[in-house]
Chain A
């Protein structure tokens, strides 16, 4: 589903902040991305959700080379990726319902066709009665649930979350993780960047990707050559 081969990233003339990143994400898998602050987690995720092109190397997503892909084709790929941020990034003047409906509206789904899925999503995240609330009136956990609902409403094949539990209490963190797990069971590939070691231990079969000083630690080669791909 996602293949990074020898990827490096630098901003301007400075030294690379990510070097020789190679991995292969399998469809329907669950990955945790860990590493110290400044290790390059967010930069790696930005390349995953197509906010940044690499400085070198090959990035293949859904079977297509994204490095050389013309810019006008990127929106079509972005619609197959859901993104969740630590700071939620909800649009402040839109209601929870409108924030969740955003990806469907952008994709051109009619109002008639999107009301059902949005209602279901609000119920799924337990905010059916707060549909018209603005983000400012929601708690951190509620805002993050809205952000997750927005990320998954269009049924993305890949879900990328950057420290999604960083601004919520431990109980809410567990509930949010439950949402990611449920999505993963439905077939979505999930990549979650986190510092929280307790979180990592809660998901069975999750694989860990560890970044150290801009390099991916892969001592067994399992990330680069997943068992399913080995010959």
Chain B
């Protein structure tokens, strides 16, 4: 039981006021930071996973043959040949209009109709998604295919340039996870200090309870219950503030649909973890208080 049952008459053995002073407020702040760090960690981990999956088997073949007609022909031949291969999931030739529209964003022409842009010779690009399994073998086969259909073309694996970004995001996720662990440890330390302070403050009562035959278990349950309740107030407050912040961020995030940002989300498991964290925190506080109290009481005969 997270918060132990104690008969009402026994609860009165401790004064009505809270035992733990500012502890609930400190716990509230730590809980809020823990939840935000956990949310960031989950979001970043999912983002890193999504990017990793997306880029792991994707390559772009860049055909730079000078003659536009030859270039277009090689691109079409490569796409057809690649599509027929079992190690290729999909192959798509990127249209020249699409390329110009992309480049147009840098030339100040969103439509890609800038005369200068139109005059530029653009390479032909073929995006290819490789099947899973023997990725190295698939790459060797693709290189052979490209050498046959479009000699001189460059093969650009997306993992080469997006891989470091994915690794960075993954590192940030680990840091967020470490922060969750550190703040959990700090919360436990605060509960330990609170339990010890409560024992010191109420030592006379504890000594008297011992002398009239109270067991360690009876005394521990009394204090454990009160500390767990005090801590639960802090956890509830911290969780509520964190939930408000996450909902606000989620609402703002929903407007971001482009690029890497669109890959960040919590997912059902992430939300379940965030919901479970406050309950785990209360259980941890109660358990920590119990062990601290029992250890301290054992020092008294």
Contacts and interface: CB of A to CB of B under 8 A. Distances in A.
Contact of B210 (A78, A91, A107): A78
Nearest to B298: A71
A40 B295 CA distance: 29
A198 interface: no
Given A91-B208, A106-B209, A75 B215 contact: yes
Main DSSP-derived SS at the B contact region:
helix
Contact of B215 (A51, A72, A83, A98): A72
Contacts of B9: 98, 101, 105, 111
Contact of B212 (A52, A79, A98): A79
A159 B213 CA distance: 14
Interface in B184-220: 204-205, 207-216, 218
B12 A78 contact: no
Contacts of A36: none
> Range of interface residues on chain B?
20 to 34
Contacts of B301: 50-53, 71, 74
A83 to B, nearest CB: 5
A75 B214 contact: yes
Contacts of B207: 51, 89
B135 interface: no
B213 A105 contact: no
A102 B212 contact: yes
Contacts of A98: 9, 12
A219 B121 CA distance: 122
B164 interface: no
Interface in A86-113: 89, 91, 93-94, 98, 101-103, 105-107, 111
Interface in B38-87: none
A36 B301 CA distance: 27
A72 B205 CA distance: 19
A106 B12 CA distance: 12
Interface of B: 7, 9-10, 12-13, 15-16, 204-205, 207-216, 218, 298, 301
7 contacts: A51-B207, A74-B301, A78-B211, A79-B212, A83-B212, A89-B207, A101-B9
